[in-house]
Structure 1
Amino acid sequence: MRLIVSSYRRLTGKPLIADEPADITALRDAMWQAPRAIVAHGTEDDPVFFYGNRLALQWFEMDFDEFARLPSRLSAEPLAQEAREKLLAKVAQQGYVDGYSGMRIAGSGRRFMIADTTVWNLLDDNGVRQGQAAAFVVQA
């Protein structure tokens, strides 16, 4: 979790969580209760989500175990996957992108629009990319 918030702060210059707690347990709780969905995936050839907070799991209609097995590309409709791949390539080059919106698909097949999305690289202390993360709201 610290990687997610520290990478966001380093790349955007802003905190991901207001009043970011130093204690890891408090940070975990703050991310879980955040007013935006937060997700993250690794660097596998077909990246798999390793984190989703309460809102993300709610919108994707999955429990954590299901979500943590989901290749992130499957979170987008097949027709939207090309746009998603272009976005992720841009993030890989620039570090982060603000203001993205796109259609996503829940476990039930229900479609929903994510908006006001920031996508960023997860960079360790040595600047090595460990994955990518996103924070978003859902347009009703």
Structure 2
Amino acid sequence: MCPPAWSSDEEAAEWLYRQAPFGLLVHDTADDPVFVYANRTAQQRFEYTWQEFIALPSRLSAAPHDQPGRDSFIASVAANGYASGYRGLRRTRTGGRFWIEDVTMWNVTDADGVHHGQAAVFHSWSDA
């Protein structure tokens, strides 16, 4: 699905948050990174509200025994700027488990090259 043409940045941001058919997440650069953005698709899939999501350390999106694969993917992104093709097991707020698939993650930097975190988009998911 191609996104529609937008007449403004605000319109594009609104579509990305409310209507995008993929999940989009961003975490910050804290020692224990916390999510700073989750679009509605991600919120629904993970079963968190906006307020719950933006207070959640990103490591808690995966169960402890699923951390090694997540950590390896994040380290690859940190070293190379981005990575794609990832599939990982995640958990919902209520304890359900699901696969995020076709994931691409990249480092988020500003125009001056300052690193602000990492963003990930997942285009599909399935129940575990």
- Normalising by structure 1, what TM-score? 0.83
Alpha-carbon distance in 1 for matches of 2:7, 2:81:
24
Q: CA RMSD in A?
A: 1.5
Structure 1 residue corresponding to 2:95, chosen from 83, 106, 109: 109
SS in 1 for 2:121: strand
Other-structure match for 1:46: 32
Question: Which has the larger helix fraction?
Answer: 1
What TM-score, normalized by structure 2, do the two folds share? Answer: 0.90
Q: How many residues align?
A: 124
1:23 correspondence with 2:8: yes
Percent identity over the alignment is: 44
Extract unaligned runs of 5+ from structure 2.
none
In 2, Cα distance between the equivalents of 1:20 and 1:83?
37
Matched, 1:139 2:123: no
In 1: Cα distance, 2:66 partner to 2:44 partner? 21
In the TM superposition, residue 18 of structure 1 has moved relative to its aligned partner by: 3.4
Q: Are positions 1:121 and 2:107 aligned together?
A: yes
Runs (5+) with no aligned partner, structure 1: 1-16
| Cα distance in 2 between the residues matched to 1:20 and 1:78 | 41
Alpha-carbon deviation of 1:83? 1.4
Counterpart of 2:44 in structure 1 is 58
Cα displacement (A) at 1:25: 1.7
**Mapping of residues 69-108 of structure 1, within 5 Å:** 69-108=55-94
Distance, in Å, in 2 between the alignment partners of 1:37 and 1:119 is: 12
Q: Which has the higher strand share?
A: 2
Which SS does the other structure have where 2:24 is aligned? strand
Give the superposition deviation at 1:82. 1.6
Which residue of structure 2 aligns with residue 68 of structure 1? Answer: 54
Q: Distance in 2 between matches of 1:54 and 1:76?
A: 19
Change in Cα spacing, 1:53 to 1:75, as seen in structure 2 (3 Å) is same
1:47-100 deviations in Å (ceiling 9; x for gaps): 000100011000110110000000000001111112111111110111111110
SS of corresponding position for 1:62: coil
3-state SS in 1 of match to 2:106: strand
Q: Which whole-Å CA distance do the structure 1 matches of 2:78 and 2:5 have between them?
A: 25
